[in-house]
């Protein structure tokens, strides 16, 4: 993707809706059953289901297969920023101090070798020998549409994109970009509302399957002024109505986006899904926009991780609000950066657990939460986040035994009695992470 592409996508969004719907050939939009979770969702709580060990998507050593790629060690978890410029050591130092370890897309004048020398990783859209991967075209599902027409080589604002003009060519663009990528490089692509909302499962799956090695989608549930509409976030209620604010401005919806991408994949060839989360005010100052708060950011990140995200990318640009910049982490430190830094440090500390297998059905819950259970180094971990804005008490039934739930980074413990413990989730942004002490591994 050319760097300016990300800045013009908003101007073509309306036209993209028409193109995407037309290209879908009248196919049915995604149904709630197709988008709420895959058959192996980490948040399922089916009491009768057997306890099962399930590897993370792609497997723990997934990144090892690519040349000069990301570390395959369990201690590494990708935490990236989108479309940054890296010109000097001060840039990478500030980003690294905030817990960033990966640059996803870069401006053309960025110093990729400097990034590598600093022990960080880059996935630019241009080939470079120091890169850890290669980024395909961004949101091509929206501005080019799902189709196999010829690509002219143009991007939005440069003239007709597809030939014949007006016919969709998004699949072609990604195939052409893939053909230009360095051999054996890890390929990454991000999609938008075409894949998540506007296109049928069959049409959207053709973007998600076989074109890249890591995939994401950018749904900004807390700040997008249009996402609550019937034709977008209304997917959650089968496109029957607009979502009300409590249904829409909800951290758990970031997990919904991860579920959508996982459900579109071939179950026998799952690839990692990375979460795309705004860290500022990405939609300009039109009515209905806002700046994401620290608690919202933390909850969005953890909802994504609970639902199986294998990486986090921050949209690091502000097009509105009090700090307009394309370098939120560097320029808006007093606002979001302290929370973002703490979240990133927590993810990095828990990377071996996040990269470890899920222990499905080993813990069940009653109450307003989504949860994922992990097994690492003989310990069971439970990560839980509120799934509605009312929240309240949630009870966890632990089938592998245990005497105590240690609440990670909260300096408290909860006794487990008769295999259960209960905790309070104050609101829709509440997240609690538990390590179960005194229990077993359910035989795994």
pLDDT of residue 334: 84
Instruction: Tell me the β-bridge partners of 278.
Output: 315
- In what helix (H) or strand (E) does residue 9 lie, and over which residues does it extend? none
DSSP code for 325: B
Report whether 141 contacts 20 (CB < 8 A): yes
Give per-residue burial for 53-73: e unless 16+ CB within 10 Å, then b: eeebbbeeebbeebeebbeee
pLDDT of residue 36: 34
pLDDT of residue 48: 63
Domains annotated for the chain, with CATH where assigned, are: 5-45+63-354 (3.20.20), 362-437 (2.60.40)
d(CA 162, CA 154): 8
Nearest to 187 by CA among 206, 218, 208, 202: 208
Tell the residue number behind the tokens 């369990």, with chain if given. Answer: 74
Q: How confident is the chain (444 residues) per 10-residue block, as mean pLDDT?
A: 36 36 40 37 58 97 96 97 98 98 98 98 97 98 98 97 98 97 96 98 98 98 98 98 98 98 97 98 92 97 98 97 95 92 98 98 97 98 97 97 98 98 98 98 95
- Rg of the chain over CA atoms, in angstroms? 21
Instruction: Tell me the β-bridge partners of 435.
Output: 381, 406
Nearest to 156 by CA among 146, 145, 148: 145
Dihedral sign of CA atoms 118, 121, 125, 130 in order: positive
pTM of the model: 0.91
pLDDT of residue 122: 98
Structure tokens at 313: 């990318």
pLDDT of residue 7: 34
Q: What is the 3-state secondary structure (H, E, C) of 339-391?
A: HHHHHHHHHHHCHHHHCCCEEECCEEEECCEEEEEEEECCEEEEEEEECCCCC
């Amino acid at each position: 993707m050319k760097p300016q592409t990300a800045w013009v996508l908003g101007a073509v969004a309306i036209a993209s809706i028409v193109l995407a719907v037309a290209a879908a050939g009248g196919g049915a939009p995604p149904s709630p059953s197709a988008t709420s979770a895959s058959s192996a969702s980490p948040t399922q709580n089916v009491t009768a289901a057997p306890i099962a060990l399930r590897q993370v998507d792609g497997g723990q050593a997934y990144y090892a297969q690519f040349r000069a790629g990301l570390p395959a060690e369990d201690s590494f978890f990708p935490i990236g920023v989108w479309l940054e410029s890296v010109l000097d050591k001060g840039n990478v130092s500030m980003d690294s101090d905030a817990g960033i370890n990966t640059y996803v897309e870069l401006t053309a004048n960025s110093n990729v070798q400097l990034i590598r020398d600093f022990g960080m990783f880059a996935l630019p859209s241009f080939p470079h020998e120091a890169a850890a991967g290669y980024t395909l075209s961004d949101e091509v599902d929206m501005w080019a549409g799902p189709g196999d027409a010829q690509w002219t080589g143009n991007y939005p604002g440069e003239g007709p994109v597809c030939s014949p003009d007006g016919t969709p060519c998004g699949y072609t663009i990604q195939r052409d970009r893939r053909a230009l990528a360095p051999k054996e490089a890890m390929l990454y692509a991000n999609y938008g509302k075409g894949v998540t909302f506007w296109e049928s499962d069959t049409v959207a799956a053709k973007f998600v399957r076989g074109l890249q090695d890591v995939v994401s989608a950018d749904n900004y549930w807390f700040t997008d002024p249009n996402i609550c509409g019937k034709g977008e976030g209304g997917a959650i209620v089968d496109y029957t109505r607009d979502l009300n604010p409590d249904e829409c401005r909800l951290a758990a919806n970031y997990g919904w986006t991860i579920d959508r991408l996982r459900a579109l994949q071939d179950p026998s060839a799952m690839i990692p899904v990375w979460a795309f989360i705004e860290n500022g005010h990405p939609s300009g100052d039109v009515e209905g926009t806002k700046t994401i708060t620290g608690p919202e950011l933390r909850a969005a990140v953890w909802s994504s991780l609970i639902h199986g995200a294998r990486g986090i990318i921050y949209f690091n640009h502000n097009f509105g609000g009090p700090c307009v910049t394309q370098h939120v982490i560097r320029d808006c430190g007093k606002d979001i950066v302290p929370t973002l830094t703490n979240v990133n440090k927590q993810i990095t500390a828990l990377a071996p657990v996040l990269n470890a297998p899920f222990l499905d059905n080993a813990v069940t819950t009653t109450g307003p939460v989504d949860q994922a259970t992990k097994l690492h180094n003989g310990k069971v971990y439970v990560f839980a986040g509120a799934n509605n804005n009312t929240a309240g008490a949630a009870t966890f039934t632990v089938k592998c035994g245990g005497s105590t739930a240690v609440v990670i980074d909260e300096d408290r413990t909860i006794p487990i009695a008769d295999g259960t413990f209960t905790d309070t989730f104050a609101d829709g942004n509440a997240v609690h992470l538990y390590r179960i002490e005194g229990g077993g591994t359910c035989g795994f």
